[in-house]
Structure 1
Amino acid sequence: MGVSGVVAQRRGRVTESTSDEILMAAYQAGNQDAFGELFDRYAGRVYGFLIRRLGDAATAEDLHQEAFLRLHRARDSYNPERPFRAWLFAIVHNLVNDSLRSRRRAPVTEPLGTTSSPHPAVQTDRAGSINDQSPERIVAARESTRALSRALSALPANEATVLILARFEGLSYDDIGSVIGRSAAAAKQLAYRALKRVRSELVAMGHGEMSR
């Protein structure tokens, strides 16, 4: 869809089939529904990134809101030729780094799984609702998630970001490279190094290797 199509969507109705890039261009043109659709698509994914990256539910909640505020403030700087997902996660990556610098990496006080309920945006995962799982499976999953969070927290910032985006978000190394300001080859090397370190940490904690 060209510029005329984007302008037409300013007052038009956005749908689930509309691409992220077209939605963001429509939001730049003033379509508030476009922002709502983008939020619905990415709220859970942004929170998932934050909780894996930080291991702290309270901080993840705060930064989750701030991430979309930054998106709003930076909306005019978005280039529709760039994949929206990479642009958004670059915002989130920088937000996390800013937060860690400001608090000097304070000790984790509330790792994932210690809250009474998950964030509303991540009540379900790609496999469906967690409500149909047995209590034993839920406890085991939470223990594994806490272990993964601890392993990720031991990584350098770029390695943690690259691994999360590659393994959990499915971004290409080209897109991941643009998130961290490195080449695709460098991003791939960081992912390999990070995965090796995380597997070693998980084995040391008695949780087995991270799936390949």
Structure 2
Amino acid sequence: MSLENRVAEALDKRGEADSDQALMLQYMQGDMSAFESLYQKHKGGLYRYFVRQIGDLQLAEDLYQDTWGRVIKAAASYEPSAKFTTWLYRIAHNLLIDHVRAVKPVDHFSEVFTEEQDADSFLPSDEQAPQTQFIAWTKAQLLKHCISLLPTVQKEALLLNMEAGFTAGTIAEVVGTSLEATKSRIRYANQSLKTCVMNKWQEVENER
């Protein structure tokens, strides 16, 4: 099937995945606006994926840019056999793993969400009462801290599920593991988070 026919076929289908595939195929034909559309659509989630995994804003930016660079390099050989988001996050996952293996053991990341500007983005609106704002902000910080304590594989699976909205099956494809292992990682991550946040909140209550 010619590239033009593949674009037409993808455009004829419905759904976000097919739209992404069509845009990628159009980019392969030299349509830079198609790449811009993909970039604008996925840039926020992809950047947050790196920030929440490693916590270093500059490093997150570097890996983020490297991911898009690899997308550009791989465009000529792209085959829409899987969702574009699965393919994109697989590239991101591999870059992250390569970095972690190069600098530290795979199960140890630095603390995340220590930057003041990142914490500010989680503050509630001014319409809420100061006390409500403080409670919501404190719980957000506890949650972020507890996420940072999760084993790397659990943290990645949880964030891909919560933030990217990926199913366990899609996450399994991204990280290259079995469906059951992915479900277990998400389940254990949720259980650990619930316990951690409850314990940390109790500590805060006891100090008040």
What TM-score does the superposition give when structure 2 sets the normalisation length?
0.74
* Aligned residue number for residue 4 of structure 1: 4
Aligned-pair CA distance for 1:117: 8.9
* Contact 1:112–1:146 (Cα < 8 Å) also in 2: no
* Aligned residue number for residue 98 of structure 1: 98
1:68-104 deviation digits (Å, cap 9, x = unpaired): 1222222234320201111111111222222223332
* Contact 1:153–1:160 (Cα < 8 Å) also in 2: yes
SS in 1 for 2:194: helix
Instruction: Find out whether 1:181 has 2:183 as its counterpart.
Output: no
Q: Higher helix share goes to which structure?
A: 2
Structure 1 gap ranges (5+): 9-16
Name the Cα RMSD after superposition. 3.4
Change (3 A) 1:28 1:73: same
* Contact 2:109–2:152 (Cα < 8 Å) also in 1: no
Distance 1:46 1:207 in 2: 34
Change (3 A) 1:146 1:59: farther
* Aligned residue number for residue 155 of structure 1: 150
Change (3 A) 1:72 1:46: same
Amino acid of the structure 2 residue aligned with 1:150 = H
What TM-score does the superposition give when structure 1 sets the normalisation length?
0.73
| Higher radius of gyration, 1 or 2 | 2
Instruction: Find out whether 1:203 has 2:205 as its counterpart.
Output: no
- Quick one: percent identity of the two aligned structures? 27
* Contact 1:162–1:187 (Cα < 8 Å) also in 2: yes
* Contact 1:23–1:35 (Cα < 8 Å) also in 2: yes
Runs of 4+ in 1 over 6 A off after TM superposition: none
Aligned-pair CA distance for 1:159: 1.4
Distance 1:66 1:145 in 2: 30
SS in 2 for 1:46: helix
Distance 1:64 1:139 in 2: 32
* Contact 1:113–1:142 (Cα < 8 Å) also in 2: no
Change (3 A) 1:23 1:191: same
Change (3 A) 1:197 1:106: closer
* Aligned residue number for residue 37 of structure 1: 37
* Aligned residue number for residue 117 of structure 2: 115
Structure 2 gap ranges (5+): 9-15, 204-208
Distance 2:19 2:35 in 1: 12
* Aligned residue number for residue 64 of structure 1: 64
Amino acid of the structure 1 residue aligned with 2:116 = T
